[in-house]
Amino acid sequence: MERTLIGDVPSLIGQIVKLQGWVNIRRDHGKLIFIDLRDRSGIIQMVIIPDKEEAHKIAKDIRNEFVIEIEGLVKARPGGAIKEGVATGGVEIEVEKLVVISKPEAELPIDIAAQDLNLNLDTLLDNRTIALRNDKIKSIFRIYAELLRSYAETMNKDSFVEIKTPKILNAATEGGANFFKIKYFEQDAYLAQSPQFYKQAMTGVFERVFEVGSVFRAEPHYTTRHVNEYIGLDAEMAFIESFEDVMNQLEKTMAFVMSKIAENCQSDLEKYNAQILPVEKIPRMKLTEALEILDKEYGKKMETVDIDAEGERMICEWVKKNNNCDFVFLTHYPTSIRPFYSMPSADPQYTETFDLLFMGVEIASGGQRINDYNQLIASMKKHKLNPDDFKHYLDIFKYGIPPHGGWGLGSERIVQKILGLGTIKEAILFPRDVKRLTP
């Protein structure tokens, strides 16, 4: 007999099925033994009656997380009762045969079957391989999977070619000190801070490219929004008129991604009481305008033309109140705090760049890049960088690169904010931070 998935069982009333999965919960009611069985498609209640002597005997020794196989009759629940909140709540399985495939060799450190684990972060992450089996936690990563899938879908629809770029480099991508230095045979190398240089090069090949890949930042942060390895959703596009074209494309991308998560992940969103607003027109304002709003509405003054985490939260709060939108573009960041390849504005103190904020946190940075060879060299020197250290990057621009721009989008922050998770680490399968290299 072929295996049936639990999610397909409700349509098979009156038939004998074979199921395989994990024991989510086992409980006794008099001489009856009830088991909630879990597989990748859902959870279903099974009952083992004393008359099925062999199955009943085996069931007496079964505990949570045993891996079992059963054969049984699909029946409507007695009296037409329905178990609320469960897709298979209208049916149950009367077990006829039961086989233990595998069983735990140690006591479970946490109660995986709990609706809410309510563990402190270290306990949650120290027991990550087990905690991830919890149904509510699995919902995080079903939503994350839809984010990745829909991002690739919309990029492909808009003629972006997917690329994969090296993560071991001979020089730090953006200079500075936030890079990981590694030993690469007989020479030093660096883990990629972004695919920036390579995706710019590829605009000279495909015009439009995107990448989903790891990004490494050696930043000693202890915050709820930072980790040292994350998955970046990058894109770069050529023949732009201005960085407005880049924002238009990112706006379209986010509208599609959020609509697909809302459409395909409703049951997972409900576990977190999360709602997704339709994305139509994302408000845009200069950074200086945002700082004026913070000063006027919240009495918050910044010492320099920049914005901190509190300011990002406040300006998103203001936009939500006045525009009913969870997103906002802040534009024209100062030249002094943007990478050397950022295109300067008409006022050279500022750049044709933006940050995209979502529900109080920055999720993307982008803008137009300098595409002129000589202008790029001049910008490097202005940023106190030695052009000789960027020879291979500069070679890109010797042979004709059109005006272009793009973005780098942090995938895990999006999931964190959608679900209201306490920390970004909950949105990463196995997070890496200053203190954590395991599991």
Task: Tell me whether residue 150 is one of the annotated catalytic residues.
Answer: no
Q: List the catalytic residue out of 208, 217, 369, 404.
A: 217
Catalytic residue from among 71, 174, 219, 229: 219
Question: Catalytic annotation on 217?
Answer: yes
Give the active site residue among 26, 38, 225, 404: 225
* Catalytic one of 345, 365, 379, 411: 365
**159 included as an active-site residue:** no
What is the radius of gyration, based on Cα positions, of the chain? Answer: 27
Q: Comparing C-alpha atoms, which of 353, 358, 356, 416 is closest to residue 379?
A: 353
Q: How many whole angstroms separate alpha carbon 439 and alpha carbon 436? A: 8
- Facing residues of 27 across strands? 34
- The answer to whether 413 is a known catalytic residue is yes
Q: Is 365 a catalytic residue?
A: yes
CA dist list (Å): 125 to 130, 133, 426: 9, 13, 8
Q: State whether the Cα torsion 338-340-346-347 is positive or negative.
A: positive
Angle at 261 between CA 256 and CA 266, to 5 degrees: 145
The DSSP secondary structure of 310-363, one letter per residue, reads HHHHHHHHHHHHHH--SEEEEE--BGGGS-TTBPB-SSTTBBSEEEEEETTEEE
Catalytic residue among 26, 38, 208, 226: 226
Q: How many other C-beta atoms lie within 10 A of the C-beta of residue 351?
A: 25
Would strands 91-102 and 67-76 be described as parallel, antiparallel, or unpaired?
antiparallel
Is 332 a catalytic site residue? no
Angle in degrees, CA 319, 425, 271, rounded to 5: 70
Active site includes 362?
Answer: yes
| Residues annotated catalytic, as ranges | 217, 219, 225-226, 362, 365, 413
